[in-house]
Amino acid sequence: MDKYRTRVLVILVTVLLAAGMLTGCGDKSLEKGLELLEAGDYENAADEFKKAAEDDGHAGEAYRGIGIAKWELGEYEAARNAFVSALDNGAEKTGTIYNFLGNCEMQNGNAKSALNYYSLGIACEDCSEEMLREMKFNEIAAYEQCGEWENAKSKLAAYTAEYPDDAKALKEAEFLETQ
């Protein structure tokens, strides 16, 4: 997941925070956590979001913020747990959060679980074309990690038909030919 994806999720958190403030439900810990996240101070951002998570009205957004901060810190198990908690506490089910979950699972060596999250993300209607493309490519990597070469080849064929100019996919096709 690159900085662009993180920025997209930060924007989503900002929108949710603004909506909460407009309805009189603002929380200074959420606001401060967001500022720290945008500044790249991930450890302190996570701490502020943890404070906000104690406020039931903002738990989903707070856990989402914790997930982003932990992802940026390379703490993928903690990030995964935070994103699951975000969903459990009412955060919107978006392609972005499912992509984060899938990527966390891949980092943790759980490719089967990652496939489930990528599938859920691809099914979300809120996905940009770029996010869909990323998740479709991530599916291929997950099938490879599972050793499911035929599924990987099938997904790659569909991917390259949809995105014929993707140089990374063409390299992947060369690799899969050896499997």
- Give the pLDDT confidence score for residue 168 in this predicted structure: 84
- Give the pLDDT confidence score for residue 9 in this predicted structure: 52
Predicted TM-score (pTM) of the model is 0.82
- Give the pLDDT confidence score for residue 55 in this predicted structure: 75
Segment 98-125, tens digit of pLDDT: 999 999 999 999 999 999 999 999 999 9
- What 3-state class would DSSP assign to 24? coil
Minimum mean pLDDT range among 47-56, 83-92, 114-123: 47-56
Planar angle of CA 54, 59, 64, nearest 5 degrees? 125
Q: 136 and 123 in contact (C-beta within 8 Å)? A: no
Using alpha carbons, select from 56, 58, 34, 59 the residue that is nearest to residue 46.
34
pLDDT beyond 80 at 1: no
Distance, CA of 110 to CA of 5 (rounded, Å)? 21
